[in-house]
Amino acid sequence: MTDFAEVSNLDILAEARRRRTFAVISHPDAGKSTLTEALLLHARAIGTAGATHGKAGRRGTVSDWMAMEQARGISITSTAIQFEYRDTVINLVDTPGHADFSEDTFRVLSAVDAAVMLVDASKGLEVQTMKLFDVCKQRGLPIITVINKWDRPGLDALALMDEIRERTGLTPTPLTWPVGIAGNFRGVIERSTGDFIHFERTPGGATQAVAKRFSATEAAADEGAAWTDAVDEEGLLTIEGQDHSEARFLGNETTPVLFCAAVLNFGVRELLDTLVDSAPPAEARADAAGRRRPVNSDFSGFVFKVQSGMNSSHRDHVAFVRVCSGLFQRGMVATHGTTGRPFATKYAQQLFGRDGTSTDEAWPGDVVGLVNAASLRVGDSLYAGEPVEFPRLPMFSPEHFRSAHPTDSSKFKQFRKGIEQLDNEGVIQVLHSELRGGGTPVLGAVGPLQFEVVEDRMKNDFGSPIRFETLPFEVARIVDEDGAELLRTERQVEVFERSDGALLALFSTAWRLQALLRAHPSLRVDELADVRASDLRPKTRR
């Protein structure tokens, strides 16, 4: 363990500069978990890449560790993975791939310094990708774009660049350019040198692809028309001003672009190099008042995720803390910003998917797992020295509601504990009313898949199988005491208290809400948060 007394401001700054903390965002099935495995493989953090769809002989992925994730082939919960590459500490925070878990993804994006936007070469920018891009843009996160699945038939490369420019407003500045059309991936032009990097397949893509470097002259002789076409297209990029500029990238004017086939581990090392060379390190973060706390000040961090059930051998409870400033040391006593009470950090872990190893220290940019931190909730701040409170994370407006009931009344204690734990983790919003009684909580969700997660975890993590009853509500609004009293006498509306004390009125339809507002002009209702679930979900036609 580093001697705290000997740590200088320069030491903290140096360690912060070594960190790269980023998230991968994409539409479901764009290859996000596969890319994560490929990055770990090329950084030598794992020896063999896992499978997202149960290929024979392949183990599961590091990031998708839940049984539901492995069965469905989609990411359901966010995970943090730390590894080193080129003397740089990489903190990769994987995000859920389904729109129903967009609230979890939003929390992750509050804890990172950059994002990798993964695009399926055959589909271009899909709905969920654009929704998440908008969140990144709002947060000012620099974005690196990766065109994945170039080993399969897909769109024209130049057409993809036009789509990125038109739909995101960012100028795409490719760092590599594909040789061979989509479906015939031979390699890439490295634009900074003009060299040709040729990729060779490995069995099943489970190990690192072999990359060989050739000069332009050698490539022209070997690749013929495919090379000539790629060079001509690459020349058009320069004419259009689509050359990489670090200042413009960090200023959110451009997005560097790379082409890869993650399942074959083609073009993955180039992404790692780009993260090290171009992605921003940990820097001063703004607190709730807009003041930026320097990275070399006293320790501070905030909780962006809480997760239980990661260790199957015992009932753990892990708080994911993004270190914002200073040196974190295991055993130090910090202040819990919400309560103002001392918080002892006895058990701390460096996270690697569901696995964690005890760690003695963490620096700005790192994600540390605090074990058995039952008093911490999503959005809480921790600090030493000068007080700081980081912006609270908004709770999305739920759009689906079901009452939960234990199937075995003798396990009501486990039922109550499990519902409370899932509420603390932010997996679901838990609502209570005097009319329904304390034994029948109502669960509010952004999307229906969340209920499946609740059902699975209540059975397997807490030993209390449950059943749901769908409730006829579509709209939730916050009301004050007077509004709650008024609405309790109305039809097609019900008032609940959320676990944080907020009063929520649930309306049968948006039309019913508008009718009540017209009938009672003094009635005050508020959105649950500045960010709504519908803002981050694909629109459906009725």
Q: Please state the three-class secondary structure of 401-413 as a single string.
A: EEEEEECCHHHHH
For residue 121, CA distances in Å to 150, 342, 369, 413, 478 come to 6, 51, 35, 50, 42
Give the domain extent around 468.
Answer: 400-536
Q: What is the CATH number of the domain that holds 306?
A: 3.40.50.300
Q: Note whether residue 443 is domain-resident.
A: yes
Tokens found for residue 126: 């899909």
Query: 498 to each of 129, 225, 419, 514, 528, how far by Cα in Å?
Result: 31, 64, 13, 23, 11
Residues 35 and 143 grouped into a single domain: yes
Instruction: Indicate if 188 and 61 belong to the same structural domain.
Output: yes
Q: Do 164 and 293 fall into the same domain?
A: no
**pTM for this predicted structure:** 0.83
Torsion angle defined by CA atoms of residues 174, 364, 500 and 481, in that order, rounded to the nearest 10 degrees: -80
Pair 123, 162 in one domain = yes
Q: For residues 112 and 20, what is the distance between their CA atoms, to the nearest angstrom?
A: 9
Contacts with 470 (C-beta within 8 Å, 6 or more apart), sequence order: 401, 402
> In this structure, what token pair is assigned to residue 518?
């017209």
Q: pLDDT at position 97, please?
A: 61
The continuous run of DSSP H or E covering 336 comes out as: strand 333-336
Q: Return the CATH number at 521.
A: 3.30.70.3280
- Within a domain: residue 13? no
Domain end position, chosen among 383, 417, 440: 383
**Is residue 66 located within the same domain as residue 208?**
yes
- Asked if 78 and 97 touch (Cβ cutoff 8 Å), the reply is no
Q: Please report the pLDDT score of residue 312 as a whole number.
A: 55
Query: What's the number of domains the chain is made of?
Result: 3
Q: Are the C-beta atoms of 365 and 336 separated by less than 8 Å?
A: no
- Cα(265)–Cα(38) distance, integer angstroms: 6
Structure tokens at 208: 């690192």
* pLDDT per 10-residue tile (average), the chain, 542 residues: 69 96 89 88 68 43 46 57 93 77 83 96 91 88 97 96 97 97 94 94 73 94 95 95 96 97 92 97 94 95 83 69 96 94 89 75 94 86 96 85 93 92 88 84 91 91 93 94 94 92 93 95 79 44 34
What's the confidence (pLDDT) of residue 328? 96
User: Read out DSSP for 93-104?
Assistant: EE---SGGGHHH
Classify residue 5 as exposed, middle or buried by CB count within 10 Å of its CB (0-12, 13-18, 19+).
exposed
* Judgement on whether residues 187 and 234 belong to the same structural domain of the protein: yes
Does any domain span residue 112?
A: yes
Same-domain check for residues 222 and 289 = no
A 10 A CB-CB count for 491 gives 8
- Beta strand 381-383 pairing with 333-336: antiparallel
Q: In this structure, are 289 and 256 located in the same domain?
A: no
